[in-house]
Every structure is written in structure tokens, then in C-alpha cells.
Structure 1
Amino acid sequence: MTSSEFSIQEVVRLAGTTSRTLRHYGDVGLLAPSRIGSNGYRYYDADALVRLQRILLLRGLGLGIPAIAQILRDGASDVDALGSHLRWLEEEKSRLDRQIASVECTIRSLQEGGKVMAERMFDGFDHDYSGKVRDLYSSPEHPDRVLMVASDRVSAADQVLSPAIPGKGALLTELSVWWFDQLQEVTNHLAPREEWTAIPGSVADRAMLVTQLAMFPIECVVRGYLAGSGWVEYQQSQSVCGVELPAGLQEGDKLPEPIFTPAFKAPTGQHDENITFERMTQLVGIENATALRDLSLLTFDRASTIAEAKGIILADTKFEFGVTDGVITLGDEVLTSDSSRYWDATTYAAGHRGQSFDKQPVRDWLKEHWNGEGEPPELEPAVVSATSDRYQALVDRLTR
């Protein structure tokens, strides 16, 4: 051994490491001995000792062996290498911070009697709210964006029912996105599509990334035909939400022209309330009320024309609007089976009214099998299947 060489024991003592570590670094190609003596002992020169000190420094700062090997092979400086590693650490810190926030949110939910649901936990998003059908998530990094996830849950009579309708969330999302694309003349809340890569893969088929809106507390309902609650009210007063209608109309009749019949969105746990346009002006102001009415009627007319070309009647629907940067913007879902009443034009012309592409099988079955007290019964498989078929049929008819 020369004076410029060090035995493995000396290297261990000088570098503060172990002989096992040295052998491992040799086996993986990070630090080969300068020479191996005739007795099989390993010896390291001064350059090898400097290389070892660099390896130990980078390992101590958290770099993995493959990364260190690439640094040594490419001749990158420690400053450049550590700069890249620092950026990675910062990304990891951000990810861990989000996970910590998610766990804290889950703990609070459990303390308040909630349940842990895997589908409500996504990296990069915090669960904010769950409605009857949709779950909303915010992003700490992008406070102006909201992840809107449509579930397969189905509701009727203000109850979330069981079991869910397989594939319903994906169909609702597909139809909403399709309609937003058809109605380009109406400003909507969809975020630019290049940002949608942030949507977690597990919900990509049933989620939309949207702009945060300050929502109006109004459901903007437009009716082209007399059906549902509109028919019930007409029989009592020959009007719907204060809009006088001709006498002698029958259920399912086409109205002389579409009418705007708003509803007040009640706080969670309360029933929405059908209101007159005059009441709406008191809630949001005459300027906003007029703009919402005109925009709703315009959008309904455009959508009706598109649906008619596909052999579909748009009987009625509801829109929800909000404001961003001072612009009234179409939000929430739009023109889906959940928010609209669609009929087949051929069967309607033949006198078969009320056969709609929505959850009417659920409503009818629940009305027959539940008196409104206690927990509603589980839906029968035939009802689930029929409802799923109707949702799928509408998407196929409109978008294919």
C-alpha cells in the first residue's frame, strides 16, 4: 500500500461510514476501489476518498443511488444537482401538505359524524361539499378552479336512494360537456381543456374542471311543454309561477311559447321554492333578473333546435348561473337527464306522452312503494336497469 492509498478500515474511519456501505457502493458501480491487493483487500486513493465524501453528502441530502450515479456520470455540479433535488423536495412538501390537509379534513368530518369515502380524497384537491349527486373539490394551488365530480347516486323525493345507477355520473358529465360545446355563444364555467390534465384519473370520465363562480340563488327553469310541477300548478290556477296560460291545456301540451318559471334555491335541507319573476327581482335585482331570464330563454331555444334535429323534444330544463369577473356565466350541469325533461318526438306525435329520458322509472317506483316515512326501500334491479338504459339512450341519440 502506498502513502496515498487507504485501506478499507482507514476509509471507514475517515469517512464515518461502514465497510458494508463501501462494498455496496462498489457493487452498484458508485465507488470502485483504486486497486485490489493480492490478499483481496480493497484500497482507495485520495480521489476515491473525495468521490466517497461527495456520495455521502448527496445521500445525506436525500438523493437516491440512481440519481447520484447519473450526477457522477454526467459530471454535473453539486449545485445543479442539489438545485434539482430541492425542487423535487418542494414538490414533495406541497404534496405532503395537501395530504395532511386531506387527513385533517377527514378527521373533522369523522368528528362531525361523517364517513370516510375514498372517492372524496384526491391528491391536489380538497373535498368541499357533497350534494345529492355531485361532489365539489377545491385546489389550494388554484383557488379559482373547482373540480366537479358527478357520482352515480340517484335521488328522488329529496332522498338519495340505493343502489346507485351504474355509469350515471359518466353519462351526465359526457352530456354536460357536449352541450357546453354546442352552446359556445353562451359563456360557461368550463376551465380551458389543457388544464383538465389535473383531473385525477380515477374520476376523469365523470369530472369537469370549472371556474369558481359566485352563484345566483336561483334555478332558472324554462318550460316549453306543460308537465311535472308545472302541470300540477296549472290545474290549480291556470298559471305557472305567475305566468298566465290559456285555458283547456292538457298534460304534455306544447305551450304557445316557452315560459320562464324561476325557483329559489333554498338552503341545504330545505325544499326549493317556485317563485314569480317579481319575487326573483327582489332577490337578485331587476337587472340581473332580466338578464338571467333572457339568457335562459335564449339558451333553451338554441338547445331545443339542436335536440329537435335529433328527433328529441326538450320539454323543460333548469339552468344555473353565476358571475366571474362581472360576467354572467352558465354553471353547474347543463341539459342533462337529471336537470331536463326529454321526450322522444316520434312517440310524442303518436300520442304517447310522458315517456322521458330520465329517472322517471325511479320516481314512479318510489311513489308506489314508499309512503314518505322512514328510510326509502332499495330500488329493484329492473328499475335501476331501466333508468340506466334511458340515460344511455339520450346520450346516444343526442351526441352520436
Structure 2
Amino acid sequence: MTLGHTVDALDIPGWVHGYSGKVRDLYMPESASSLYDAERVLMVASDRVSAFDHVLEPGIPSKGTLLTRLSRWWFAQLPVANHLDPLTPVPDVVADRGVVVRRLHMHPVECVVRGYLVGSGWAEYREHGTVCGIALPAGLQNGDRLPEPIYTPAWKAPYGEHDENITFERSVELVGADVAEALRDASLAIFARASAVAESRGVILADTKFEFGSDPETGELTLADEVLTSDSSRYWDASLYAAGGPDRLASFDKQIVRDWLAANWDGEGVPPRLPLEIVEQTAARYRELIDRLTA
């Protein structure tokens, strides 16, 4: 991962900057010696946008606010334990794009659920008839709905490395059979719930990824990180999809950025600045999805 610029830590009373990823910044209480022993962490979503392992310039205006709003909304819709700490107020300076979360023992498995054949899954299917090693019926086309959603976990690689698709059996080796089964079952159940909510609002949830940890005191499996945002999920307009036109797989996310960058950069050196129209179109897609889902 390459940051396109230096991250300026915010001066937040009572909190100290601990870490910055591609698009989010983590702060710990002043009393904590490190993020690893902090009982609470302030997670702040920035307006930074990344593609092809680079943080690009400029950012997407209000992206952090929009995705935080969507993630909070989804947490409220899902009848599962999550890592939000409702008792610790979010500091005013980041009230619209920050959440305070409880420390968990995170599982090193990214829980991916796919309801449709698209993206890297489509590429693998064309070559092998499988998605992440799972055999699928012959004759499927790009964008087709799968007979049923499939769970395709990934190993969360150390910082600076790429996550790696793994089999369910490999996830058992990593976290044990009981936890691996719980991760799979919870992921599929949440996906089913979220898909039904989205479809009732004219939106298709094509695929998504979840992260879970265990509560250090109770051991309860707990949903963590962001959830069902435009950065972690692929959403389509149900009416466009049904019409079958060229825009039927247009997603409510930063695909506009990826497409422009792929067409205008060879991958060498520093990526070019994003044109204003690309930035504005991306921001509009983020806003449209939130308006559609939360109205």
C-alpha cells in the first residue's frame, strides 16, 4: 500500500493518533500506551480514496461522512453484536465521520459473500468454472445471480501485503472449526438480511466483505470494522439490472475512479490527479446509494 501524501493527524482532546491506513485513521485514549492495549479506539473515516494500492489525489468530498453514516445505519439494521461503543461520545471535531469502537480479538479472516457472478469471480469462472475454488453450474454469464450466495473467505495479510483468497478448509486451520463455521454462518445470515433490505429499496447487494472479532471478556462473535459500505460492498440499481442495458452492472462505489485510472495510468510512478468530473461523479454515486437505502 502506498500513501499518496502525508496524513495530518487531528488534534482531538483526549485522543492520540495511533495509526493511519489507506482511508481511515485510528486514535487511542491518551491513557493508553498503544492501540493494542487500548480498551476503546476512535476510528475516523477520511475523504481519501484508494485504487490499485495507491491513495489518490484529490480525495472525494464528504466521503468519510457518507460512509460512516451508511455503516452506522447498517449496524442499526442488523440483529448481531457489533463493536460500536454507545457509551463513549464521539468527539465533536469528528462527530460526522468517527465512531468509538470496543477492542476485540480480531480474526485473521476476511469474510466475503458473493451473491452474483462478477469481478474477479467472473474472471476465474470463465477459466475454471469455479469461484475461489467453488464449482458453479455451467453456462453462467457476467453479472448473473448465483443459485445461492457463496462464502469465499480470504486471509488477512500483514500490513503492506495483499489479502489472499483461501478455502474454507484453510480458514479452519487458521481459526479452528468452531470459529470458522461461526464466521461462515454469520456472514451468510447477515448477507441474506442485508440483501432483503436493499432489494426492498430497489438496490441489489451483489457482494460484500465482513470482519469479525471476539469479545475479549465474553468470547462473543462480534461484527467489526465498517459494514456494507460502498467501499466494502458492490451495489447495483435493480431497475437498471433488470433492463439488461450496458449500465446494468454500474456500481454505487469508486469503480468510476478505477476505470479512469486504468485508462490513464500505466501503473508506474505516482498516479495522476483525478479530474474534477471523476471526483464529482464518484461523490454523487456514494450519495445516491445512501439516499436510496436510508430514505
Normalising by structure 1, we get a TM-score of 0.69
Match of 1:363?
258
Structure ranking higher in helix proportion: 1
Gaps of at least 5 residues in structure 1 are 1-113
Cα offset, 1:239, TM superposition: 0.9
| CA distance, structure 2, for counterparts of residue 115 and residue 355 of structure 1 | 32
1:153 partnered with 2:48:
yes
Gaps of at least 5 residues in structure 2 are 33-37
Query: What one-letter code is carried by the residue in structure 2 that aligns with 1:344?
Result: D
- 1:178-189 equivalences under 5 Å are 178-183=73-78, 185-189=79-83
Query: What one-letter code is carried by the residue in structure 2 that aligns with 1:186?
Result: V
Cα offset, 1:341, TM superposition: 0.2
What per-residue deviation string (whole Å, max 9, x for no partner) do you get for residues 186-228 of structure 1? 1100102x422xx222211000111111111111000000111
Match of 2:242?
349
1:133 partnered with 2:23:
yes
| CA distance, structure 2, for counterparts of residue 228 and residue 213 of structure 1 | 31
Q: Which has the larger Rg?
A: 1
Q: 1:115 to 1:349 in 2, by over 3 A?
A: closer
Query: What one-letter code is carried by the residue in structure 1 that aligns with 2:254?
Result: K
What per-residue deviation string (whole Å, max 9, x for no partner) do you get for residues 77-119 of structure 1? xxxxxxxxxxxxxxxxxxxxxxxxxxxxxxxxxxxxx957143
SS at match of 1:266: coil
Q: How many residues were matched structurally?
A: 282
Cα offset, 1:236, TM superposition: 1.7
Match of 1:253?
144
Cα offset, 1:362, TM superposition: 0.3
Match of 1:300?
191
Could you say what the CA RMSD is over the residues aligned between the two structures, in angstroms?
Answer: 1.3
Greater RCO, CA 8 A, separation 6+: 2
Match of 2:35?
none
Percent of paired sites with the same residue: 63
Q: 1:280 to 1:145 in 2, by over 3 A?
A: same
Cα offset, 1:275, TM superposition: 1.1
Deviates further, 132-141 or 361-370: 132-141
Cα offset, 1:256, TM superposition: 0.1
SS at match of 1:178: helix
1:340 partnered with 2:266:
no
1:191 partnered with 2:85:
yes
Cα offset, 1:141, TM superposition: 4.3
| CA distance, structure 1, for counterparts of residue 80 and residue 134 of structure 2 | 26
What per-residue deviation string (whole Å, max 9, x for no partner) do you get for residues 30-80 of structure 1? xxxxxxxxxxxxxxxxxxxxxxxxxxxxxxxxxxxxxxxxxxxxxxxxxxx
